[in-house]
Structure 1
Amino acid sequence: MTEAAVRTHALLKRFGPQVAVAGVDLVVPAGSFAGLVGPNGAGKTTTLSMITGLLRPDGGAAEVAGYNVWADPVQVKARIGVLPEGLRLFERLSGRELLIYNGRLRGLPRAEVQRRAEELLHVMGLSDAADKLVVDYSTGMRKKIGLAAALLHNPAVLFLDEPFEGVDPVSANTLTEVLRRYTASGSTVVFSSHVMDLVERLCDWVSVMSGGHIVAQGTLDDVRAGRTLNQAFLDLVGGPSGTDGDGLSWLGAPQ
């Protein structure tokens, strides 16, 4: 395996008596398109929140690009881009203003920010909506402007939490092409999802979470082991084999 872009050791998070993340050892090779998959409630979002510095762990450690997330937060935040679940944006700014604000906040020169913003707006298909307020953007447009903002400072590692949820096929294709171009340059994408077909199509590295643990991780082919990723996932997390033949006898019955 090449150098790790992301590495955690015994990462732990509790919410009261509930253990959400139970000692996770996650490894993501540099330059990979990595999927973090698991059923709802597996701990994916909590894990990503701790790795990106949004949530303080109760134990363990996390490193991004060789820097400890909590010991060197400025170094880490300079090297990551984040598109979180439940994306929050400054909705009274236009798309162009949002990008310029993010770039200036990152300390980039104004001329460089403006150049990058125009290129990103064009690639994302948002040039015609650049001066519309973000509050008037559709779900797909909001995802695209959020991704543009996360990419503006050219991060080494990009973290995406369910980036394709609620996105139409045209916008999803745009996001996919941008992300593939990004990883082709040697940068790293880590994204969480519970859509196995999407992960199988995009990723070359997969980590599977269940019950707050990593139950498998490695290359896509290693994790699949000759199966579809969906079947491997069900085998790993212990999905039900079917519905109880004695239950739901009323379903579909004549009224």
Structure 2
Amino acid sequence: MHAPELLHYYPKFHSMDSYMIRLSSPFTYNHKCYLFANQKLSRHFTSFNFRLQSRKNSTSDAKEFDESAFEAERLRLDAKARESMAQISKTMTETTAEAEADPKAWKWVIRKRIWDLMEAQNIAQNPRPVHHRIPNFVGASSAAKKLSELEAFVMANCVKVNPDSPQKQVRFLTLSDGKKLLTPQPRLRTGFFSILESSMLTPSTINEACTSVGVAKYGRPIGLDEKIKVDVIVIGSVAVDPTTGARLGKGEKPYDFFLF
């Protein structure tokens, strides 16, 4: 899709359902889709800290996990990333020579329009403000329920879901249905992916396991050399064209790594 088409389409949005999420086409999945070792890619991740790799998922180890320190660091890194994206957004949405010369500047115009509209119409949900995030929104749980009713999801054994707030209910439904949950470590700072299964949890911890802290606390971190069959991939977006499925993220570009 070209920029003019997106810019022409998005002003026509009239309701939350039409511009925030549209489950208009079934997910497709490849039974031969595996996460596999990629030596060329792995060289870019040599600085990752895999200190959680050796931790077992026992109750005693879970108690040793420093939740407050993890959350403080997560919030610090999130704030730093949003500040950086805010500066890029400001540059790209202003009428400057730099913005006009950048072929991707139109994406930031759409992102800002959606974020502003969500806040103005109060359809944004916490964490707020939603600017420079995959925005949480009123109706996210209902959207998750619709997704869980799709045949692809029902038949899936392993579902990859990103760690964003709007997908928390998707992560919960994945675990509640006895499926494997594969989720990226937030900002890839403690590893690449983590796996969670309902057998690793108790009824009292399954809800917590759907949060960023819970993933680090209860999940099993994995590296690039572990083979996993993934049936369905769920990612969040800032804007989606319901006709073509073309999407825009928040502009931080982690999804290329998540979908390698």
The alignment's TM-score, normalised by the length of structure 1, stands at: 0.28
Pick the structure with greater CA Rg: 1
Q: Which has the higher contact order (CA 8 A, sep 6+)?
A: 2
The alignment's TM-score, normalised by the length of structure 2, stands at: 0.28
Q: Which structure shows the bigger proportion of residues in strand conformation?
A: 1
Q: Which structure shows the bigger proportion of residues in helix conformation?
A: 2
